[in-house]
Each structure stands twice: as C-alpha cells, then as structure tokens.
Structure 1
C-alpha cells in the first residue's frame, strides 16, 4: 500500500511539473508571437478582455535563490531608471522652448511605454516576495511575470514618431530640444547596457524579464538613432551644449563615462 501511494505521489508530482512547464511554454510562445510582453491591447475587439497568465520558473532551490537575487538587482536598477525617463520627458514637454515635433513625439511615446513597463516591473517585484513552492526531488517553482497586463490596465501605446513628426524631421532644434535629446540619449544607452548585462548573466533565468529586455534594447536603440539624427541639425554642432550625466533624472545611482552610458561631455559616440 505504501509503495502504491508513493508511486501515485510521484506520478502526480510529475504531472504537476509537466503542467507548469507547459503553461510557462505557452505563455512564452504567446508573448513571442505578440512580440511585446504584456502590452497588446485592441479596444476595438470585443474579445480582448483581460486574461492574466502567470509565468513560472522551475529549478533547484539554489538556482531559484540566485535567480531571485539577480531579478531583485535588476528591478532595483531599471525601475527608478524608468521613473527618471518619465520625469525627463515631462519636464521637456512642459518647457515652452521644447518645439521639435520629432522629439515631442518621442517624449510622449516614452511617457506611455515606460510607465507601462514600470507596471510590469512592479508585478515582478511583488512576485519576488512570494515564497518558493516545493515540488518533488528538491525542485521548486516560482512566479516570474504576468502576461496580459496590457488589456487589464487598458494600456495604449503612443506611436512615435507620428507622420507629422516625420514630415518635420528637419525642423529647427532649440537648445531645450538638444538638451533633452542629449540627456535622453545617455539615459537610453544606460538602460540598454543594463538590459544587456541582465540577459548575459549566469543567474538571470527569468524569461519574462529577458524578453522585456529584448524589447527595451530594440526600441531604445532605434530611439537613440532618431535622436542622433535630430541632434545633427543643431547649428554649431551638438557638442556646443554640455550635459552632466549625474544630473539626469534616474542616472544618479549609475556609473558614468563607460560602457556606452555616456561620456563626460554627455554625448556618447555622436559626432
């Protein structure tokens, strides 16, 4: 009787592990198909209501604990960094001298997109505080992300640049425009480096964060190229204005002057 009970428990445990793995694989596949973690929301579709799916990771306890530590470091860095981007964008849009259509489009896009990414990071932070769930054989599982927060929060991304912004690609650029572009370029480069560092880490196994980082790297690299093009229009050259990376919102806790985050003159790699 004891042998049969043990066998049933082992089989039940195996089915549980398999179910969790399938759930995680399905969520990952859906997100890969959408291409944007938790962001898709189409208000015109009647069937586009909230459908929250938790992502899970299964590993040994030691691996899980190392992964949690890596996730905590990442969230503790990227969350205030994103908040700084929101502050920088709001300050720019409130400036009466901020007139460049392309950069104003960019600032609005950043406000919408990075505010939602903060929502995703906050959800990951909540899950990091949950206790590990024991499985058989010394394995544990933990939640690592939530898919479907886009529809639940009614997140609507703002496209950028808009057609009007593109038509005004060569519009005049003021000192306020240049200062914002240089500051945000430094800010973006630091975020890209942070995302790349996490994804390359041996303990970073949170696929929800890894996919989010792929999106951050792609999107912010494209925006850096856009800002470089705008800054090239400034009379006298972009280097005429100095930006101190340490005074950029969200950058105070980071290293400056190396790794692509921005040189001492606040203008990494742009000539």
Structure 2
C-alpha cells in the first residue's frame, strides 16, 4: 500500500508541473501580442526619428535664407522693363525671374516638409547687406529704382553679380553641411545657373 500511495503522489506532482509549464507557455496569445506591440512601437519610433532627420539645421538655414534672397532677385529683375532698352539685359532679367520665382515655390514646399513656414519676401532672417549673402539694402534698392538707361544697366549688373555671388556662397554651404537630398539638389542647380549668369554679366560690363 505504501508503494502504491507513493506512486500516486509522484504522478500528481508531475501533472502539476506540466500544468504550470502550460501556464507560462510563450505561445500564449496575450504574451505574444504584448511582445509584437512593443516591437511595432519600437519600429515606429525609429521611423519617426528618421523622418525628422531628413532636414538638419543647415538645410533649414539655407532654405529660409534663400527664399527672401530669390524674392529680391525677382524684384530687381522686374525693375528692368521700365528702365532700359538694352535687349541683352532685358532677356537676362526675364530668365532670372523665370528661374527663381518657381524655385521660391519649391523652397516653400521643402520648408513645409521640414515643419517650418516660409519667411516673408522681405524678411532677411538676420541677413545684412555686406555680410556675404549678397542681399541689397533698402537704400541700394531705392537708388537703383531712381536710375535709368546706361547708368541703370551698369548699376543693376554690378548689384546682381554681388547678389548671385552671395547665393552661390549660400548654396556651397548647403552642399557642404546639409543632408536633405532635395535641398542639396536645389543648391546644385543654383550654383550651376548663377555661376553661368555671373560670367555673362561680367562680360556685359566689359
């Protein structure tokens, strides 16, 4: 009887161990679901961090600075029609306006993607004339507006060369320090087009 009783106790203990093991089975749906949810949140967090990293400070600085820079170039280009009969200068001004106005829309879109509003056309964002950005002061613009004929042509070309040189410098900084592919592609186009126009304007000055 003692042998039979001992065997019964051993069997009961074994069954209890089996049941305990089932209670902590890793295939339990609630345990698996919690693990899956945690993994999904981790992936989402990593994806979010990647999206935010698409624009760094250099990208945003470039875009916010180039918007008013382009706006001023377009303003200068629009002055030409009423102040000169120089066909070569008229054609150049039209090309500048036609290229830079659409780029302002592109800049607005890129800033929106980065979570930043576009600055105002007149907001220089701390950019001062003479700081290397090529922006003209209000006095410069007023003086230019008061000119006409050959005097206007020479002043306009001189100012636009300086303006373009500032844009190229800003774009070069973006290419060296930025990381957003679209912003860097815009910078590449600015360098190419404006260096070509600088050479053209220098030739026109003689």
**TM-score range normalised by the length of the shorter chain:** 0.5 to 0.7
Match of 1:229 in 2: 203
Match of 2:161 in 1: 185
Match of 2:77 in 1: 89
Larger strand percent: 1
Match of 2:94 in 1: 108
Match of 2:137 in 1: none
Contact 1:195 1:213 in 2 (8 A): yes
Change (3 A) 1:8 1:86: same
C-alpha displacement of 1:210: 0.2
Structure 1 or 2, whichever has the larger Rg, is: 2
Cα distance between partner residues in 1 of 2:49 and 2:87:
47
> What are structure 1's unaligned runs of at least 5 residues?
18-56, 131-172, 233-271
Match of 2:112 in 1: 126
Backbone CA RMSD of aligned residues: 3.0
Contact 1:99 1:177 in 2 (8 A): no
For residue 214 of structure 1, the aligned residue among 172, 188, 199 is: 188
Q: Deviations over 1:132-160 (max 9, x none)?
A: xxxxxxxxxxxxxxxxxxxxxxxxxxxxx
**Partner of 2:184: helix, strand, or coil?**
helix
Change (3 A) 1:58 1:207: farther
Match of 1:78 in 2: 66
Q: Deviations over 1:8-30 (max 9, x none)?
A: 966xx59xx7xxxxxxxxxxxxx
- Pairs within 5 Å for 1:111-260: 111-129=97-115, 174-201=150-177, 204-232=178-206
Q: Deviations over 1:70-114 (max 9, x none)?
A: 23211221000000001111112221xx12222111100111110
C-alpha displacement of 1:3: 4.2
Aligned residues, how many? 142
Contact 1:178 1:231 in 2 (8 A): yes
Q: Deviations over 1:140-181 (max 9, x none)?
A: xxxxxxxxxxxxxxxxxxxxxxxxxxxxxxxxx822211111
C-alpha displacement of 1:185: 0.6
C-alpha displacement of 1:69: 2.7
TM-score (normalised: structure 2)? 0.60
For residue 50 of structure 2, the aligned residue among 35, 56, 59 is: 59
Contact 2:81 2:90 in 1 (8 A): yes
Cα distance between partner residues in 2 of 1:215 and 1:72:
17
C-alpha displacement of 1:183: 0.9
TM-score (normalised: structure 1)? 0.46
Contact 1:199 1:213 in 2 (8 A): yes
